[in-house]
Amino acid sequence: MNNLKGIAASAGIAIARAFILEHPDYSISQKQVTDVDAELAKLDAALAQSQTELEAIKARTLQELGEKKAEIFESHLLILNDPELIDPVKEKIKSESVNAEFALNETATQFIQMFENMKSAYLQERAADMRDVTKRILKHLLGLNYVSPSEISEEVIVVAEDLTPSDTAQLNRKYVKGFTTNIGGRTSHSAIMARSLEIPAVVGTKNVLSSVQSGDLMIVDGLEGDVIINPTEAIVAQYRAKQEAYAKQVEEWKKLRTEPTVSKDGVHVELAANIGTPNDVAGVLDNGGEAVGLYRTEFLYMGRDKLPSEEIQYVAYKSVLEKMEGKPVVVRTLDIGGDKELPYLDLPKEMNPFLGFRAVRLCLDRQDIFRTQLRALLRASVHGNLRIMFPMIATLGEFREAKAVLEEEKAKLEAEGIQVASNIQLGIMVEIPSTAVLADQFAKEVDFFSIGTNDLIQYTMAADRMNERVSYLYQPYNPAILRLIKMVIDAAHREGRWVGMCGEMAGDSTAIPILLGLGLDEFSMSATSILPARSQISKLSRAEMQTLAAKALEMGTAEEVVELVRAIDAANA
């Protein structure tokens, strides 16, 4: 038995066998072979294995995702059997006495280059299919043991160095019971995805990957941040009990599903959820979300090889708005850059991506991208209660410019005879200290603010949230942060605007009493945090929390603030 400690990234307990997710090394060298027939037989065997694998994936995709998604594997099967690919490979093995993987790679590369040089963007993308099929055959030729996350078909806990957005997009909730990674923190991409998928996760364990072998039984405790490898039977029994107790508590919270969020002294606040895709809406409604407080549209742009069209975006936005049945949906326009890259935009590497060309800065420069998104949003607006917000606004000038682009697109659509809702609220993320400080001026022009605490904290403390060595500076309870939040809320309320928060802090049980006291109107969090938060708020008096918040603002350190809140908890218990 081996215990590891990491960061509890997504609540719940998972007990299953380990599945090691590592991207293999496909490097190939040219070798001379003496037995050409053996080399040809090796190729045939690899092709047959690939065929069996693809047929199984195709069948499963057909069953789970439908005909359209399965078509791609049908064309992969055809490529696998394509005489134009296989014949030249065999010819090369025979005439040059080279190893099969080298011959395959040479031939496939020609096709990949052919596709890449085609005029049509659609055909250029087929290079990706060609690469995918080639890798599959190479995997068998090289005897590599790699299964992509989409091919997992039994209950497992995924273990990885880190999970990329495309890895997480492929995780199947039915089989992936939990995951754990070497790196990452509560706000890293993998952790956020785990919470939206409601999969227990522990990240930042530093060395889980080297401590576990594929197939080992393991426990991931996403409540405490513990990972246990090869537990004894007694430990498994103990965790099964904990799993059940947690399930029971979740049931308890579920009773609050259809209740409004009201403090002990009768003040209503709105509890909303953060989502990444239309599929997440089911979880929002299941957990009693009163709104979507943050729809992160960048997932629409990730895991693909070109920009999503207006139509693709329109369908996604419309779907979220319709599923929310008139409840508010705050859509954040593209927030790419920082830790979220889009390979196909081919942006230059930056020394300080978090301080660089990202989000609205990029959108105001690449207006083609921005306008396509705004058109899709405006067209979708008639299907529900849409609110639009711009990320990373640092100056009032940026907001005015972005708003002007929005107004232009709206006018164009109306001129084309396309209906656009008339009541779309327009707001901004407050995540840059300059904007928090100048909130009184912004409040005169925006309809609402949403405080993005993850970035607000990193920019205020000058501490990169991806850098573990300065992670101690991620201090949501630092009075400096609390004072900025207070400035924003007070400024907004003076102008009759509302203020939400969509960072991790909004769902944090230590922060909630203070935020309630500071007068926050909307708390947007992971869907799974909503019911615990509703339960917590129902036991708090806003009037008392105002006193608490006033005291917290006068503290010197984050630790003192935490102590203050704990004392209230103890008094209430």
Partner 1 sequence: MQQTFRIIDEDGIHARPATALVNTANKFQDTNSFAESNGKKVTLKSILGVLSLGLEQGDTLTLITEGGNESEALQALQEVMINEGLGELHE
Residues classed as catalytic: 189, 502
CA dist 394 and 401 (Å) reads: 12
Tell me if 118 contacts partner 1 by CB under 8 A: yes
Is residue 236 within 8 A of residue 224, CB to CB? The reply is: no
Give least dist CB 130 to partner 1, A.
Answer: 8
Tell me if 343 contacts partner 1 by CB under 8 A: no
One residue of 25, 119, 154, 251 binding partner 1 per CB under 8 A? 119
Is residue 473 within 8 A of residue 461, CB to CB? The reply is: yes
Tell me if 349 contacts partner 1 by CB under 8 A: no
Give least dist CB 110 to partner 1, A.
Answer: 10
Is residue 485 within 8 A of residue 518, CB to CB? The reply is: yes
Tell me if 114 contacts partner 1 by CB under 8 A: yes
Contacts of 428 (CB under 8 A, 6+ apart): 389, 390, 391, 393, 399, 435, 442, 446, 449, 450
Number of residues counted as binding partner 1 (CB under 8 A) = 21
Is residue 229 within 8 A of residue 16, CB to CB? The reply is: no
Nearer to partner 1, 20 or 130 (CB): 130
Nearer to partner 1, 61 or 187 (CB): 61
Only one of the segments 115-123, 296-304, 425-433, 437-445 lies at the binding site for partner 1 (rule: CB under 8 A); that segment is: 115-123
Give least dist CB 39 to partner 1, A.
Answer: 22
Nearer to partner 1, 85 or 548 (CB): 85
Only one of the segments 7-15, 69-77, 346-354, 519-527 lies at the binding site for partner 1 (rule: CB under 8 A); that segment is: 69-77
Give least dist CB 73 to partner 1, A.
Answer: 10
CA dist 522 and 524 (Å) reads: 6
One residue of 116, 129, 151, 161 binding partner 1 per CB under 8 A? 129
Tell me if 71 contacts partner 1 by CB under 8 A: yes
Rounded alpha-carbon distances, angstroms, from residue 319 to 282, 322, 380: 11, 5, 9
Tell me if 74 contacts partner 1 by CB under 8 A: yes
Only one of the segments 107-115, 149-157, 342-350, 485-493 lies at the binding site for partner 1 (rule: CB under 8 A); that segment is: 107-115
- Would you give the DSSP letter of residue 32? B
Tell me if 89 contacts partner 1 by CB under 8 A: no
Give least dist CB 68 to partner 1, A.
Answer: 9
Give least dist CB 122 to partner 1, A.
Answer: 5
Nearer to partner 1, 120 or 423 (CB): 120
Nearer to partner 1, 106 or 341 (CB): 106
Strands 448-451 and 498-501: parallel
Only one of the segments 31-39, 70-78, 435-443, 528-536 lies at the binding site for partner 1 (rule: CB under 8 A); that segment is: 70-78
Give least dist CB 334 to partner 1, A.
Answer: 25
Only one of the segments 13-21, 67-75, 481-489, 498-506 lies at the binding site for partner 1 (rule: CB under 8 A); that segment is: 67-75
Joined tokens for residue 508: 């944090």
Tell me if 59 contacts partner 1 by CB under 8 A: no
Burial of 101 (0-12, 13-18, 19+ CB in 10 A): buried
Tell me if 115 contacts partner 1 by CB under 8 A: yes
CA dist 429 and 61 (Å) reads: 38
Paired with 220 in beta bridges are: 14, 227
Angle 533-188-160 from CA coordinates, rounded to 5°: 115
Nearer to partner 1, 109 or 213 (CB): 109
Tell me if 136 contacts partner 1 by CB under 8 A: no
One residue of 122, 234, 346, 556 binding partner 1 per CB under 8 A? 122
Rounded alpha-carbon distances, angstroms, from residue 35 to 96, 102, 105, 143, 561: 12, 15, 19, 19, 74
CA torsion 298-301-304-310 (nearest 10°) is: 150
Tell me if 84 contacts partner 1 by CB under 8 A: yes
Tell me if 104 contacts partner 1 by CB under 8 A: no
Give least dist CB 116 to partner 1, A.
Answer: 12
Joined tokens for residue 564: 């203050």
Helix extents (H) in 289-417: 298-301, 310-323, 359-365, 367-380, 396-415
Joined tokens for residue 20: 């090691």
Give least dist CB 278 to partner 1, A.
Answer: 24
One residue of 38, 41, 56, 72 binding partner 1 per CB under 8 A? 72
Tell me if 123 contacts partner 1 by CB under 8 A: yes
Is residue 9 within 8 A of residue 226, CB to CB? The reply is: no
Q: Whose CA is closest to 264, among 538, 80, 463?
A: 538
Only one of the segments 80-88, 366-374, 393-401, 460-468 lies at the binding site for partner 1 (rule: CB under 8 A); that segment is: 80-88
Only one of the segments 74-82, 218-226, 379-387, 400-408 lies at the binding site for partner 1 (rule: CB under 8 A); that segment is: 74-82
Nearer to partner 1, 80 or 377 (CB): 80
Joined tokens for residue 395: 């100056």
One residue of 35, 44, 82, 252 binding partner 1 per CB under 8 A? 82
Residue 174: HSE in the Cβ half-sphere, 13 Å Cα cutoff:
7
One residue of 8, 79, 158, 359 binding partner 1 per CB under 8 A? 79
Q: Please give the backbone phi and psi of residue 354, each rounded to the nearest 5 degrees, phi first.
A: -70, -20
Is residue 496 within 8 A of residue 513, CB to CB? The reply is: no
Give least dist CB 374 to partner 1, A.
Answer: 24
Is residue 505 within 8 A of residue 565, CB to CB? The reply is: no
Q: Which residues contribute to the site for partner 1 (CB under 8 A)?
A: 71-72, 74-75, 78-79, 82-85, 111, 114-115, 118-120, 122-123, 126, 129-130
